[in-house]
Amino acid sequence: TMTLISYYLGLRARAEAPRMMLAYASIPHQCVDISMKEWPAKKEAGDICHFGQLPSLKLADGTLISQSGSITRYVAKIAKLYPEDPVAAAEADMIFELSQEMGGINPILNYFPVGQPLWKEKYEEYFASLPRWMGAAEKLLGDKNFFGGPAPHYGD
């Protein structure tokens, strides 16, 4: 039986949530990290990426899914972490989208040269928004353990 194959670069960012959900749900999968040296040829070949970017997810039947949000929602559904109720699903999507916005910390910490004007600008923008994001998230979470209630959903 072929398992799912998750392709990404050797870093934790846009493939992390679906990979964590696959592990949480004990869904057989393989994580393939593409090195920066390999990436230009893989990108040119296009066999693991529709749009010249990663992450991507290859299904057992060979179907390739690209775009991190699409991959995350697909995995959430097969892992039974995507709510069936449309309102609960929209709320889970809302928390997931907030996490995507908060992911803007990655290039600040891992890409922009520290202390340079662009780094300083992005750092200040991010940390100016952080109290608003965290305050809203804290209010939504309330006294629950998970945003979804008694059990986690993919937004958690």
Who has greater pLDDT, 24 or 103? 24
> What rounded mean pLDDT belongs to the chain?
92
Query: What is the per-residue pLDDT across 23-76, written as a single tens digit (0 to 9) for each?
Result: 999 999 999 999 999 999 999 998 999 999 999 999 999 999 999 999 999 999
Query: Which of the four pLDDT bands, split at 50, 70 and 90, describes residue 2?
Result: low
- pLDDT of residue 107 exceeding 90, the answer is no
pTM: 0.86
Estimate the crossing angle of helix 86-102 against helix 68-78, to 10 degrees. 140
3-state secondary structure (DSSP) of residue 64: strand
- pLDDT of residue 1 exceeding 60, the answer is no
Closest of 103, 2, 99, 105 to residue 57, by C-alpha: 2
Stretch 118-136: mean pLDDT: 94
Query: Which of the four pLDDT bands, split at 50, 70 and 90, describes residue 105?
Result: confident
Rg over alpha carbons for the chain, rounded to the nearest Å, is 17
**What is the share, in percent, of the chain residues with pLDDT greater than 90?**
76
Which residue type does 112 have?
F
pLDDT for 30 equals 95
Question: Counting every residue, how long is the chain?
Answer: 156
pLDDT for 108 equals 87
